[in-house]
Amino acid sequence: MNGLYRAFASVVFGCTLLCQAVYAGRSCAEPQPLKTETVVRALNLAVQTVKLLDSSGAQVVVLGRAGQDLTKYGLHYSHLGFAYQQADGQGGHVWRILHKLNQCGSADSAIYRQGLGQFFLDDLWRFEAAWVVPTPEVQRKLLAVLSDEQRSVQMHIKPYSMVSYVWGLKYQQSNQWAIETMAWALDPDMVGADASRIKAQKWLLNHDYQPGILNIGAFTRLGARMTAANVAFDDHPNEKRFSDRIETVTVDSVFAWLQRAGLTTQVIQTIH
């Protein structure tokens, strides 16, 4: 019964946030109610994820979902967040998600702390998830940041572009916030007032992070910029942008980097 309670609590936590965030990342011009089948599939995926996370022995994982179809760019997952354990006050724990979401297709974003149910209710393209378990030392440092209300949003800025330049400061997309937050948690020289996105990006460069590369032509860029407030390309260097080379933070590149950098000792785990 305790296991069932933890799974349920991890899934449904954050209903007040859900009312505000269920359409985050999508257009709110004509919001459509979620279909019953969508809700059932999302909650089933959430419950299954909780059970697998509980059996993993981890306290923190980097969790990705397939919210958009990015296969034409060679990408499998679109959005990641941190799943971490939080004490439930009864000697056990529940799983929480900390992640960044774009608000209704606008040019702004915010950080959300939710249950797994909310994480998977955001109109997924494919009901599938994947995670990487960081090493125990990385988990320990991440957990200290994720559990702290102020430190967990230290790297966040509101201006948002879903294709923000990986080494830029003008915008920040969701996966970029996550990896910069990870850099801050792991860099021993970046504490207190010394924390900054510039230093986080320098740490990532020094630790061989390599961004995802999207080949997006001029007509596609122009159309996206004219019709979507949450897409901008003006932060990319001209020589890369005009050669259709868009370098941004992708889930697939983060997963590959975590393994390449020795920040995880496990292969990617998938959930269908």
* Burial bucket for residue 217 (CB in 10 Å: 0-12, 13-18, 19+): exposed
Q: Do residues 128 and 272 lie in contact, with contact meaning Cβ atoms separated by under 8 Å? A: yes
Model confidence band, residue 192 (pLDDT cutoffs 50, 70, 90): low
Please compute the mean of the pLDDT values over residues 12-21 and round it to a whole number: 38
**Of 83 and 27, the one with more pLDDT:** 83
Is 140 a residue whose pLDDT tops 50? yes
Q: What is the pLDDT of residue 21?
A: 35
Q: What is the pLDDT of residue 233?
A: 92
Q: What is the pLDDT of residue 25?
A: 44
Distance CA 207, CA 183 (A): 9
Percent of the chain at pLDDT > 90 equals 61
Tell whether pTM > 0.75.
Answer: yes
Q: What is the pLDDT of residue 261?
A: 95
Q: What is the pLDDT of residue 223?
A: 65
Q: What is the pLDDT of residue 253?
A: 97
Q: Would you kindly state where each structural domain of the chain is located, as residue ranges?
A: 2-271
Encoded tokens for 190: 């970046």
Q: What is the pLDDT of residue 191?
A: 67
* Burial bucket for residue 107 (CB in 10 Å: 0-12, 13-18, 19+): middle
Please compute the mean of the pLDDT values over residues 12-29 and round it to a whole number: 42
Model confidence band, residue 8 (pLDDT cutoffs 50, 70, 90): very low
Is 84 a residue whose pLDDT tops 90? yes
- Which residues are paired to 148 by β-bridges? none
Q: What is the pLDDT of residue 166?
A: 98
Distance CA 112, CA 181 (A): 14
Please compute the mean of the pLDDT values over residues 161-181 and round it to a whole number: 97
User: How confident is the prediction for the chain on average, in pLDDT?
Assistant: 85
Please compute the mean of the pLDDT values over residues 188-203 and round it to a whole number: 84
Nearest Cα neighbor of 256 from 211, 216, 219, 221 is 211
Is 76 a residue whose pLDDT tops 80? yes
Please compute the mean of the pLDDT values over residues 220-249 and round it to a whole number: 86
pLDDT digit string (tens) for 27-70?
Answer: 555 556 777 888 898 999 999 999 999 999 999 999 999 988 88
Distance CA 116, CA 100 (A): 14
At the second CATH level, the architecture of 2-271 is Alpha-Beta Complex (3.90)
Model confidence band, residue 89 (pLDDT cutoffs 50, 70, 90): confident
